[in-house]
Structure 1
């Protein structure tokens, strides 16, 4: 989170400001999905590029394999993200139905659970009785309390569709960058690879820097850390292509 001044903090914690903030609808945050999609997209395509160059294969192969992987892997990753969020939503809904059923069938037992939960937090006597009475007088609050306190789950405000779309778009956009130089047929293979590596490095560093800026972390460290991850993946791909070239006797092109 970005740092704010003391005056701003005081203003934000006035009763009316607190009420507005708590009543504000939850918004889906797609930053994490975009960052993950962008990093994975760039790693995927630049790994293909590095493997092809390491094996000294005909450069257009990098374009074909790169774009094929870009679309297929981007779609797969987006669908996986969608399903993961939907699965968690279904889990929360299942637990909500379970607690609703328990309240109908064993209300005294459920009240005792609430009592023990807040007793363990240090509440006693009339204060504890008041808390239990207040919570158990509102079925939705009662169920929400059991979800968060007993099952350690919380309603998910993330939109599966928005998360999947953010993942796919970031994956494709960032992942396409290392492939662009191989569309410039006037360049030599070495120039294409050098430019591809430069674009990939910019993408890796940029994603890390943006993420660090959003969460008030050191931009340089965040950028270099992401660059190191991407560079390591590319190095492994290049080395694998180079070694397998000899194993399978691939001729230089």
Structure 2
């Protein structure tokens, strides 16, 4: 097994394999959007279900409230993510324009910034000067290097629309799962809630597992951690609904 791993690593680090891999889009670029939308969607709808069950509402009320929150919160979250990514991209564009202007006005100062950045990485003497000359020979490379190294900005993959769509889709798909038992006739309210509880727990666990496969984390631990966080939010909603019913007489 160890020999196979070494052979696969060597094959993936041949020049043609490296060129092919670097041309491809960054893996998992929109995964955070999907994870955020999926977890928040599942928490939102199951929190509504838990609160409704704790308050003694009927299955119809729980389903209506769940669907309303699913659509409204999903859209709100997608818009918020869209605006956040758009603001980030506008910030990057603004800093890029500033760097172009700085190169026009104080080119030697900008060259010195490149020099000091790469000196901190261990380059010295003629090697350092060749690096500086090579980078500064291409204006776009120069500017992009400053964005990454001086400002620590991500310049690739900033698509507000794509991020919003991924977030909204994950929110709707995952968030609808805890509502499915409430759309099935013939089940008691208790069985509907327990079925919704099981499905929500499964979704939380699967999201955590899927995240671990991309980011190379322990599968079971990641799934369990996500399950515990989602369960805590659902438990808080159930407790709130139960207290509201006891204190204010809210319920059926």
When the two structures are superposed, what TM-score results if normalisation uses the length of structure 1? 0.91
Report how far residue 47 of structure 1 moved: 0.5
Q: Deviations over 1:98-140 (max 9, x none)?
A: 0000111111111122222222333222222212211111111
Question: What is the distance in 2 between the residues matched to 1:151 and 1:106?
Answer: 18
Q: Quick check: 1:200 aligned with 2:191?
A: no
1:218 corresponds to: 218
Partner of 2:146: 146
Q: Deviations over 1:23-72 (max 9, x none)?
A: 44556722222121111111001101111111112331111111010001
Is residue 83–residue 160 contact of structure 2 (8 Å, CA) maintained in 1? Answer: yes
Shifted more, 169-178 versus 153-162: the winner is: 153-162
Change (3 A) 1:173 1:23: closer
Question: Runs of 5+ in structure 1 lacking a partner?
Answer: none
Alignment of structure 1 residues 66-215 onto 2, 5 Å:
66-215=66-215
- For residues 161-220 of structure 1, the C-alpha deviation after alignment (integer angstroms, 9 at most, x for no partner) is 222111111111111111122222322111111111111111111211222233333322
CA distance in structure 1 between the partners assigned to 2:124 and 2:217 by the alignment: 42
Q: State the Cα RMSD in Å.
A: 1.8
The 2-side partners of 1:25 and 1:174 are apart by: 25
Query: How far apart, CA to CA, are the structure 2 residues paired with 1:200 and 1:17?
Result: 41
Partner SS, residue 22 of structure 2: helix
- Count of residues paired in the alignment: 249
Are 2:42 and 2:177, in contact at CA under 8 Å, matched by a contact in 1? yes
Q: 1:113 to 1:39 in 2, by over 3 A?
A: same
- Any unmatched runs of 5+ in structure 2? none
Partner of 1:62: 62
What TM-score do you get using the length of structure 2 for normalisation? 0.91
The 1:127/1:188 distance shift into structure 2, 3 A limit, reads same
* Cα distance in structure 2, aligned partners of 1:177 and 1:168: 15
- Structure 1's consecutive aligned runs of 4 or more residues displaced over 4 angstroms after TM superposition are 25-28
Residues in 2 aligned to 1:195 and 1:210: alpha-carbon distance in whole angstroms: 22
